[in-house]
Structure 1
Amino acid sequence: MELLSLLLSPLVLLALAAVYAVGSSLIRRRPAVRRRALVRFARRVDLPLPDAPLWAPVEAALTRRNVAVDLGAQIGIAAAAVVGLMLGHPGGRTGDIGAELGLWGMVVVGASVAGAATGSAWAGARDARRGAPAPGSRLARPTASVITDYVAPLELWSARLMAFAAAGALALGLVIATGVDTVAPAELLHIGTVLAAVVGPMALWLGVVTERRLLDLPQTAASTFELAWSDALRAQVLRDVVNAPLAIGVSTGFALLMAASFGVGDPTIANGLLGLLGAGVLGLAVVGIASSASKPQRHFRQRLWPRDGASYPGVGSDRPAGGSH
């Protein structure tokens, strides 16, 4: 417990975040690392590897996204650490180091994911505004793309729902408090719990606004193959943005359940809350496994580039001759 307390201390988190951000930025820019990242990504999205001159811009865009995700995550952790320094070391207020370390860990996870999604969205928006193909060669779709073209329904709606996990946990706590004598409902309503309950829905609202702005940005492509790669990169960014409210809602929701289980004062209710927390973890794992099995990275292929279509990348006449999986 002492080691965990040390690792989660704000000053240590600040130092680790700074070291990781600098180290990751340097490593991800190495040519061999950039190439491996592109090869892995092409395999995940089921696209042939791009040939020159498309290889360089795709590799650069993917690298910028990966660096921005790492940097954003560490900025999120650093922001959480600053808040921790302002509020005091975990365990310093209630004396229950185990409970507060659990809460603090949830805050760090949520801040990290929020920062990563912000970095990904920033990189994606910046790349969408870069350059354009030669005049007269730009492709355009007859209809505008929507979020469901890039994010699978299970992934999209589970993220939307779980953004309200903390609000649901607080509501459950208030219901329980009305039936016990050990804690009053008013004791649950303070600045910390209210902020935890609203941060998920706020993140969802910001995420939806960001999704719409990213979808409104133009896609510049001179071939169907280039457009398919643009879709692959866009889908990755949109999935990052969609999943941020999920992580924030789940982390704050689980933190509230954990805090309530330690503070309710009734062993039966405390065990019930911990059981509910365990059920939530299990349910989240089941949804995650089901989503992973559906290969969400390739959802945009099914929606925008069906295999039986004439313009399917890798089948059409504009596929790079040397491209391979």
Structure 2
Amino acid sequence: MDPVLAVLAVFAALMLAGLGIRLIYIARAEPRKRMLHAYSQQVGLALVPEIVPELSSRIYRRERAGVVGSMVGLVPGVALLVLTDGSQNPWNGLVVLVAMTVGSTVALIGNDSRSAFAPVAEVPRLARSASPGLADYVTPLDRAFSLGLLGLATLGYATVLGVIAINPERVFDDVSVRTILWPAGLLLALAAAASLVTWAAANALLGRGQPAGTYIQLAWSDAFRSTTLRSLVGIPGIIAAVSSCVLFLSLSEAINRPARGSIGEILVGSFTIMGPVLFVALLSWSLTSMRNRNTTHYLRRLWPETAVELDRHRARGAVDDQPDADNRTKTSA
């Protein structure tokens, strides 16, 4: 058996086992309580006793959907590598991680969108003076970074195509160009398609109402919607960045032992550097997007008084003392 395929099979089995254990673990009451508390701190809203059961159930369904989505995405990701000989290069294993990430995100979006598109009873509800837009839920940096990564990935792929076409010093004579280009090209096409799909999905979600009988329910609805839209907007950028990583790292592996000072050595050096740089940029962006200024962006746009009070409490170091959910600007709702 091919060593790479053996490693890939072991990795897939371990991931499925780990995700299965996670699925069983989060079904318990105590982990669900911890997940809800962590999410409450993340979005800056207090846990009001009367809606805790509903929130706990919703958080559990979100987490369960994410795990199941990762498990579903793992299978076609591995199958794609095996059927198309993508396993010949170890770096193409990143395709599996992308498939898991996309599967998890799509499952989360589907779970969160289900309540938004479900029919609601004709009961008295709060109404906003103006419908919130994408900018009220997602920071400009998140949107710009995702589209910027897609643009850079497209530029990088076009540049590599040009270099291969020119074939300086015939460094690509002994290289299977198809094996190098198809995984990155497939991911880049998927990223471009994802940018259109996510734009349409975000507009469809924003076009739906948020049935709520109290300001507490409406604020929590905004929190969940913000999380969903932030995940949605990030999909094209994640896929595009991994596409570039796969492309550069595959090329650095393909050009074997180039002569010193040759074009091939320069290409290998640049490819070897750019892959990790892009990966670090993607990781940094992922960590940055989880900062309080990002996760509570919706509060600053839709519930400014609550955001001010939250900042005041955090500045005093009161991590567990969260602002009262009723103390908010009702005119913005």
Q: 1:20 to 1:283 in 2, by over 3 A?
A: closer
**Counterparts of 1:297-316 in structure 2 under 5 Å?**
297-307=295-305, 314=324, 316=326
Does the aligned pair in 2 maintain the 1:166–1:196 contact within 8 Å? no
Residue from 253, 265, 268 that aligns with 1:267: 265
**Mapping of residues 19-168 of structure 1, within 5 Å:** 19-52=17-50, 54-88=51-85, 90-91=87-88, 100-104=89-93, 106-130=94-118, 132=120, 135-136=123-124, 138-168=125-155
Q: 1:3 and 1:304, CA in 2 relative to 1: closer, same or farther beyond 3 A?
A: farther
Which deviations, in whole Å up to 9, do the C-alpha atoms of 1:64-106 show, x marking residues without a partner?
1111111111211111012133234723xxxxxxxx11122x1
Tell me the equivalent position of 1:96. Answer: none
Q: Name the aligned partner's letter for residue 62 of structure 1.
A: I
Give the one of 231, 234, 244 matched to 1:240: 231
2:87 partner SS: coil
Find the aligned partners of 1:309 and 1:295 in 2 and give their Cα distance: 10
Q: 1:51 to 1:318 in 2, by over 3 A?
A: farther
Cα distance in 2 between the residues matched to 1:259 and 1:81: 18
Large movers: runs of 4+ above 6 Å: 2-5, 308-313
- Partner Cα separation in structure 1 for residue 211 and residue 205 of structure 2: 14
Q: CA deviation at 1:60?
A: 1.1
Question: 1:297 & 1:124 partners in 2: Cα distance?
Answer: 16
Which residue in the other structure is 2:318 paired with? none
The answer to whether the 8 Å contact 2:72/2:103 transfers is: yes
* Equivalent-residue separation in structure 1 for 2:36 and 2:187 (angstroms): 37
Using the alignment, how far apart are the partners of 2:252 and 2:86 within structure 1? 21
> How far apart, CA to CA, are the structure 1 residues paired with 2:277 and 2:326?
48
Q: Give the number of aligned pairs.
A: 305
2-structure distance, mates of 1:47, 1:308: 9
Of the structure 1 ranges 69-78 and 80-89, higher mean CA displacement relative to structure 2 is found in: 80-89
Partner of 1:307, secondary structure, is helix
Alignment of 1:249 onto 2:246: no
* Residue of structure 1 equivalent to 2:319: none
| C-alpha distance 311-133 of structure 1, shift in aligned 2 (>3 A) | farther
- Percent identical residues: 20
Root-mean-square deviation (Å):
3.2
Give the aligned residue type for 1:28.
Answer: I
Choose 288-297 or 192-201, whichever is displaced more. 288-297
Equivalent residue in structure 1 for 2:168, among 167, 180, 183: 180
Q: Name the aligned partner's letter for residue 173 of structure 1.
A: V
Q: Are 1:224 and 1:311, in contact at CA under 8 Å, matched by a contact in 2?
A: no
Structure 2 residue aligned with 1:219? 210
More helix by share: 2
Which 10-residue stretch deviates more, 144-153 or 301-310?
301-310
C-alpha displacement of 1:49: 0.8
* Equivalence for 1:198: 189
Q: Report deviation, 1:260.
A: 1.9
Retained in 2: the 8 A contact 1:151–1:239? Answer: yes
Q: Matched residue of 1:314: which SS?
A: coil
Cα distance change, pair 270–201 in 1 and its aligned pair in 2 (3 A): same
